[in-house]
Structure 1
Amino acid sequence: MQKNDWSLSAIVAGFVAVLVGFASSVAIVFQAAAAAGASAEITASWVGVLGFAMGISCIGFSWYYKAPILTAWSTPGAALLATSLQGVSLAEAVGVFIFSAVLTTALGLSGWFDKLTRKIPLPIAAAMLAGIMLKFGLDIFISLQASPMLVLLMIGVFLLAKRFWPRYAVPLVLLTGVLFCFSQQQLDFSGVELSLVQLVWVSPAWSWSAILGVGVPLFVVTMTSQNIPGLAVLRSSGYQTPVSPLLSWTGLITLVSAPFGNFSINLAAITAAICSGPEAHPDPDKRYTAGIAAGVFYLLTGLAGATVVALFAAFPKELIATVAGLALLGTIAANLATATVDTQHRDAAILTLLITASGVSFFGIASAFWGLVAGLVTTGWFSWRRSQA
């Protein structure tokens, strides 16, 4: 790692990724912990160990593979736990986490996941990603209704910076938003108290009903709704990192840290897209520093635990939504172009995009998976029809 590989834009991209990751879904983690009957101390331990696990893996993966490889907790997995852990003891919940981690590790070591994902056509994967990220772009203009002055100012700064200082567009947007909110007294730090996290060990217990009813679905939704889109982000950004080692290591890290509350970490999609686009660094070979920066910020969130969560909560949601949407504009555009440039896959790609963006969910599995299935089935149908012609 060279000193000149680092840039302010890469560091800010890492910070924005962590800010978006925590602010957008940490409440779901709290709900999952509450469903398992976790105390305030144990809930803080969950947040702390997740921060440590994501920080270590982001730094390690990004440094070793020289690519912006980010991990995240499984947001669909947390949502599943929030609705499925009622009546399951905290010790049995830890047993569920361990079981899911063992399956993830075994799948990574087998190499099956890597072989399967390589059969997904790039336009279909790009369409799925565009569908996932489309919501973040639309949220800019939804936020415009609630905070027109803030959002218009941030958009104006973004357009100006893209014209004259494109490398610093996102940092300038973030700085503008923070300064505006500060001047309008919209930053509420009253709930922020400095404290270091204390990890709490919970010994696992085993319940077949919990393992089958919660553990298997946790594994499935994490693979389909998180790891597949996460890998697609890497591939669409031009990084051909082998996925089996990444899957194995995320499974092992989850396995080791599950007793402290790590229910699942996986390849990130949205936050990885923030760090793998041109806004992070104009040189793709140097964007790995954004992944390392995100890892450092994740470690800090793990160390500070509830303090950092409260700090992130102080930012208005409109500010976070606008920063995230603007940071992803380039990635959305690139994936839309990839999805539609090949006429052979265009219909299948558009179908994938629309189903993914719709947010429909069946059997507890998110729309990204069903969009991918629809695209692959449509591609297979058209290929079969052409072979019969």
Structure 2
Amino acid sequence: MSEESTHGPVVAGIVTAVVGFSSSFVVCLAGLTAVGATGRQAASGLLTLLVTQALGMLWLAVRYRMPITLAWSTPGAALLATTTGVTGGWSAAVGAFVATGVLIVLTALVPKVGDVVAAIPHSLARAMLAGVLLPLCLAPVTALVDAPAAVAPVVLTWLVLLRLAPRWAVPGALLVALGAVVATARIEASALVPHLAWTTPSWSLSALVGIALPLYVVTMASQNVPGVAVMSGFGYRVPWRASLAVTGIGTIAGAPTGGHAINLAAISAALAAGPAAGPARNRRWIASVSASVTYLVLAVGSTALAALVVAAADGVMQAAAGLALLGTLGAALGEALADPREREAAAATLVVAASGVTVLGIGAAFWALLVGLLLRTFLRVGRPAPTDAPRTESSADPART
């Protein structure tokens, strides 16, 4: 194997991991904290996610000689970040993470489970995601008003890099935010040592319905299915059932130490599977190996980064997280409202999800999807079915992509 044939994939894998990690680890920590994790437990969750996705990615890449990349569920973390209280506390949230992993494994084993997810209209799934993201994406605005001296450099860095080097806009903004924290915060050395914090799962109906089901839906609809589509665009046929089995088992195994969900990468998948990973398509799987090793290296320092996030002044890291999610929000809004015939139901789904309401102990994401489905059905009863409805990615069979 020549140096030229490995250099491109190795570098592409490193970039994939660095960009994937830096663009969303703050969202991940925010989500875990929102559902009851202490700072120590959230740091354990981040470490767990990095290790489980790295090991799963390594196995899939070597087994199938394909640039398959995994990631934690960023939409799922955003969903958790908007959750206001969990009946049963952190242990119930961990139980919901286990249930999410079980659902992903069942999707691999029982195709009809995946058919249920595929039957959810794409516009409503994307509208639910947009509603979840909207409150988080407001953080840069409110933080800039409340603490302009601390937040303005973060926003300015993001804005300049967005014009000059878009891929590095979010990592650059996070670097500036972390630099400000390092300069001002006092952190005990013990808080920087990598650790795992075990939590025995418990079960509550509200957590299963309000966390596990929406987490499963957004992970499948916003990560796994698009991930397959991205890979298909580069000529790779992802082993659907094997990928779901690996990510589902990884999610179950990682839940007791705080990991919420791992899945196929979507956006960052293009970095490892595309031309940036070298001209030889049969060598691009090396990029996934490189990315997995890089994630394991990042795992060593993840606890220290988590401690910095916890020590940050209010608004700084929230602003960075909101900037990181703006692109995802824009894409979700565009897809949710693209079809005029779906617009009212999608808009209702978005509004309910963004409201953050909790009813019967169940969070807004579940009610948003329920309201959207009911409104969509009500508006269609008695009307002739459209003959020219656009086909969406969610209606496709991922196994055939």
Q: Same-fold call, TM > 0.5?
A: yes
State the Cα deviation string for residues 134-192 of structure 1 (Å, max 9, x = none).
Answer: 1221011121233212322222232222223323322332233334455xx33333455
Q: 2:261 aligns with which of 252, 266, 270?
A: 266
Corresponding residue number in structure 2 for 1:172:
172
Query: How far 1:354 moved relative to its partner?
Result: 0.6
Which residue of the partner structure matches residue 83 of structure 1?
A: 89
Q: C-alpha displacement at 1:222, in angstroms?
A: 4.5
Count the aligned residue pairs. Answer: 358
2:153 and 2:305 mapped to 1: Cα distance? Answer: 27
In the TM superposition, what are the counterparts of 1:104-253 in structure 2 within 5 Å?
105-182=105-182, 185-190=183-188, 192-197=190-195, 214=203, 219-234=208-223, 235=225, 238-239=229-230, 245-253=242-250
Give the one of 374, 378, 381 matched to 2:378.
381
Contact 2:32 2:45 in 1 (8 A): no
Displacement, 1:128?
A: 1.5
Report the Cα distance in structure 1 between the residues aligned to 2:147 and 2:104, rounded to whole angstroms.
42
Post-superposition Cα deviations, 1:45-98, rounded to whole Å, max 9, x if no partner, equal 777655533443466568867465423597759964743869xxxxxx999987
Structure 2: 5+ residue runs without aligned partners? Answer: 1-5, 233-237, 278-283, 387-401
Equivalents in 1 of 2:123, 2:45: separation in Å? 37
Secondary structure (helix, strand or coil) at the match of 2:381 reads helix
Alignment of 1:24-43 (within 5 A): 24-26=31-33, 28=35, 30=37
Distance in 2 (CA, whole Å) between partners of 1:137 and 1:103 is: 29
TM-score (norm 2): 0.68
SS of 2:358 mapped into structure 1: coil
Percent identity for Structure 1 against Structure 2: 25
Tell me the secondary structure at the aligned position of residue 118 of structure 1. Answer: helix
Aligned to 2:394: none
2:221 is matched by which residue type in structure 1? A
Q: Which amino acid aligns with 2:375?
A: T
Q: Is the 8 A contact 1:12 1:171 kept in 2?
A: yes
Q: 1:147 to 1:242 in 2, by over 3 A?
A: farther
SS at match of 2:261: strand
Letter in 1 for 2:366: F
Cα distance in 2 between the residues matched to 1:119 and 1:26 = 32
Give 5+ residue unaligned stretches, structure 1: 34-39, 87-92, 205-209
TM-score by length of 1: 0.70
1:351–1:371 Cα contact (<8 Å) kept: yes
| Equivalent position of 1:90 in the other structure | none
The answer (yes or no) to whether the contact 1:114–1:242 under 8 Å persists in 2 is no
Amino acid at match of 2:195: V
What letter matches 2:55 in structure 1? I
Q: Is the 8 A contact 2:211 2:363 kept in 1?
A: no
Q: Which residue of 1 aligns with 2:21?
A: 14
Q: Which amino acid aligns with 1:377?
A: L
